[in-house]
Amino acid sequence: QLQLVESGGGLVQPGGSLRLSCAASGFTLDYYHIGWFRQAPGKLREGVSCITNDGGTVYYADSVKGRFTISRDNAKNTVYLQLNSLKPEDTAVYYCAADVRHCGLHDEYDYWGQGTQVTVSS
């Protein structure tokens, strides 16, 4: 079974930080580009960040650039998203996704996790 599992979400105050993890099981992430997406209540899913299979190139949505950092550790079969300076508008379910062909903020990825809730509130 090919599976992605997100973790690390929770409740945090504005200005706080979280680190989200995306762990793969049943397959290796070495050949896959990884994207992070989020979906807030009443809104469409939006691309947040992406990292290429070799970690050489990253992309960020304008709304998170300078605050979020994507990274990967292929030896651990895990991709991370560091969330800093969090704002209430960052509240959403965060998903990771893997694709062998694309690295971008689109949603055309082959594999998806179930998501982890991030809530930013005072």
Per-residue pLDDT of the chain (122 residues; tens, 9 = 90+): 789 999 999 999 999 999 999 999 988 999 999 999 999 999 999 999 999 999 999 999 999 999 999 999 989 999 999 999 999 999 999 999 999 998 999 888 999 999 999 999 99
How far are the Cα atoms of 25, 38, 83, 89, 91 from residue 43, in angstroms, in the given order?
30, 10, 20, 11, 11
Indicate the SS3 state at residue 75.
helix
Contact between 2 and 26 under an 8 Å Cβ cutoff? The reply is yes
**Which residues contact residue 14 at a Cβ distance below 8 angstroms, ignoring those fewer than 6 apart?**
86, 87, 88, 120, 121, 122
Greatest Cα pair distance, the chain, in angstroms, is 40
CA dist 100 and 45 (Å) reads 21
